[in-house]
Amino acid sequence: MQQDPATLSFPGCSICFEPLDGHTNGGLAAIKCGHVYHEACLSLWSNTHNSCPQCKQSGAKRATRLYYQAETAADDAAADAAFGAAAAAAAATTAAAPICLDGTDVVAAPQAAAAAAAASAETLQLRQRLAAQDATLLRLAELRGEERAVAAAAAAAAAARAAEAEAAEAAARAELAAARGALNAAEIERIKKRTSVLSAAVMLDARAQDKELLRERRRSERLASDIGALRQRQQQDGYLRAFVDAVGAGDASLDLKFTQATANIMAGGKSWSTFASEQHKMLSYQQGEYKKLFKTNLTLEQQKLELTAAKEEADYQVKSLTQQLKQASHRLRQEQEKLQEHIAEARRRTAAVAPGPTTWGVLPQKRPSDDAENAPLFAKPAAKALKRSSSSSSSSGGIGAAAAAALSIRPSAQDASGGGGGGGANVARAQQRYQSHVNNLQPAKGAATKAPAAAKSTFSGVAQRAQNLLVPNMFATSAMYAKKAPSKQPAAFLRAHGL
């Protein structure tokens, strides 16, 4: 059941002890006992209680929501005016009633008069409370305006203080940056020079490797052209071998030619013995040509194998040079990263030893423990980079020499004296370790260079031994037929020689 809060006896919310104002506090809520509270306050109260805060009656969780707004005051005034008109009509009716003998009024409807009086009193009370609530609303609006003005002034003052603090902080940062730049200028310049020298050395080595790679590619192209010419010669030898096989197998056209030649010989008056002798000489000549052809073919096969091996070796060298170039680029990037880390570490050290407010402008003095602190920073990365560089340069030695020449730069006097934070001595020691490692790898490099020549000589020896073993066995039968005397019978002679 909805109820107007103005009709209740308690003027405010007994939970938050604030005036009941549905328009500014989000709405009102009434319990079945008749007490009214703020809707938000009663919602929080009902989370842990189920009774009215005033009379302790149950039903707080089943409250009825009330809506009261200041804009409904005009409608309430119209209703009050209508009710007042009805009350005035009832009073006029009562005044027109007859009078008794004792002078008292005769009330025609005493219940209506009592109701009219009660309604008038209640209407007056409602108007008084409505005026009090309007005054409260106006006062609240004034207080809120004052609070907003105070909050705006406080926000402006806070913004001004924040701007001043930011300006002071920016000035302090600028001064600190200038001090750091003055402290790090010399160290950064030396590191840049070292980086440029190392980059130039690596670029020169890369150009040398590119030239070597171009030479290997041209050599591979020449080998490919030689292999093509060899294949063409093999094709021609195949044609010649097919002709010789056709002669040995007895082609029909050759038989016809042989028959015609025999008829011509017989017509010329030659005997069969003379003819057989001539045929034997012809077969001997053909067998000799076949031997020469076989030797030539075997030589060509050997040359083909040698060219194939040389091409594979050239391809391997090209791949090796390409891999070395990639490794050199990777090492260059690693060196640049190490130099950037060194720059960052120098900046961090400068920031750590920056002068305070009392010692402004006084440079920090070098401590004896700086070298010991910085030694792990440069020793391990330099040793790893040098180990990778020396292991990858064992095949051709291209990047090793250039990197050794680049890293052989002596540190400046300031580095040697510890001006850069102890990094110069560490770099010098790393250069010495790298040079000794490269010197130790020179024997392995010589052995790797001699390995292709030894393999080539071994392959040539194996091919020669195979030729010595195969050629006598393959031509034994041909030699036997060459030494055999010709038969006196033409038919037997022809069958023996496949004619």
Q: Does 499 fall in a domain?
A: no
For 15, phi then psi, to 5°, come to -90, -50
What is the average pLDDT score of the chain? 65
Q: Does 343 fall in a domain?
A: yes
Number of structural domains in the chain: 2
What is the Cα–Cα distance from 23 to 21, expressed in whole angstroms? 6
Instruction: Clarify whether residues 117 and 174 are in a common domain.
Output: no
User: Among 132, 148, 165, which residue terminates a domain?
Assistant: 165
Instruction: Clarify whether residues 133 and 38 are in a common domain.
Output: yes
Give yes or no for a contact between 325 and 209, defined as CB atoms under 8 angstroms apart: yes
Is the model's pTM score more than 0.85? no
DSSP state letter for 1: -
Average pLDDT over residues 79-86: 62
pLDDT at 475 over 70: no
Instruction: Clarify whether residues 154 and 172 are in a common domain.
Output: no
Instruction: Clarify whether residues 157 and 170 are in a common domain.
Output: no
Q: What local confidence, expressed as pLDDT, does residue 302 receive?
A: 83
309 vs 249, more confident: 309
In DSSP notation, 402-450 reads HHHHHHTPPPPHHHHTTTTSSHHHHHHHHHHHHHHHHHHTHHHHHHHHH
pLDDT at 76 over 60: no
Instruction: Clarify whether residues 266 and 314 are in a common domain.
Output: yes
485 pLDDT band, cuts 50/70/90, is very low
Q: What local confidence, expressed as pLDDT, does residue 204 receive?
A: 85
Q: Does 361 fall in a domain?
A: no
The token pair that represents 245 in the structure block:
């096989």
What is the Cα–Cα distance from 1 to 393, expressed in whole angstroms? 97
Average pLDDT over residues 97-109: 43
Instruction: Clarify whether residues 114 and 173 are in a common domain.
Output: no
CATH at residue 19: 3.30.40.10
The SS3 assignment for 487 reads: coil
Average pLDDT over residues 288-304: 79
What is the Cα–Cα distance from 62 to 375, expressed in whole angstroms? 78
In DSSP notation, 51-119 reads B-TTT--B-GGGPEEE---GGGHHHHHHHHHHHHHHHHHHHHHHHTS-B-TTS-B--S-HHHHHHHHHH
What is the Cα–Cα distance from 287 to 291, expressed in whole angstroms? 6
Instruction: Clarify whether residues 112 and 202 are in a common domain.
Output: no
Average pLDDT over residues 415-427: 47
Q: Which of 417, 419, 416 is nearest to 364 (CA)?
A: 419
Q: What local confidence, expressed as pLDDT, does residue 5 receive?
A: 40
What is the Cα–Cα distance from 226 to 178, expressed in whole angstroms? 69
User: Among 143, 165, 187, which residue terminates a domain?
Assistant: 165
pLDDT digits (tens, 9 = 90+) for 334-393: 888 888 888 888 888 877 765 544 444 444 444 444 444 444 544 455 455 545 545 544
Instruction: Clarify whether residues 148 and 176 are in a common domain.
Output: no
User: Among 126, 143, 165, which residue terminates a domain?
Assistant: 165
pLDDT at 490 over 50: no
Q: Which of 331, 314, 309 is nearest to 205 (CA)?
A: 331
Average pLDDT over residues 56-73: 54
80 vs 348, more confident: 348
Residue type, 160: A
Of the listed ranges 272-281, 285-294, 474-483, the one predicted with least confidence: 474-483
Q: What local confidence, expressed as pLDDT, does residue 193 receive?
A: 82
51 pLDDT band, cuts 50/70/90, is confident
Q: What local confidence, expressed as pLDDT, does residue 269 receive?
A: 57
Q: Does 360 fall in a domain?
A: no
What is the domain extent for residue 75?
5-96+107-165
What is the Cα–Cα distance from 362 to 75, expressed in whole angstroms? 83
pLDDT digits (tens, 9 = 90+) for 112-151: 556 667 777 888 888 888 888 888 888 777 877 887 888 8
pLDDT at 101 over 70: no
Instruction: Clarify whether residues 124 and 185 are in a common domain.
Output: no
Instruction: Clarify whether residues 212 and 306 are in a common domain.
Output: yes
Residue type, 380: K
Q: Does 350 fall in a domain?
A: yes
Q: Which of 271, 303, 203 is nearest to 489 (CA)?
A: 271
Instruction: Clarify whether residues 290 and 323 are in a common domain.
Output: yes
Q: Does 416 fall in a domain?
A: yes
Q: Does 29 fall in a domain?
A: yes
Q: Does 249 fall in a domain?
A: yes
Instruction: Clarify whether residues 13 and 36 are in a common domain.
Output: yes
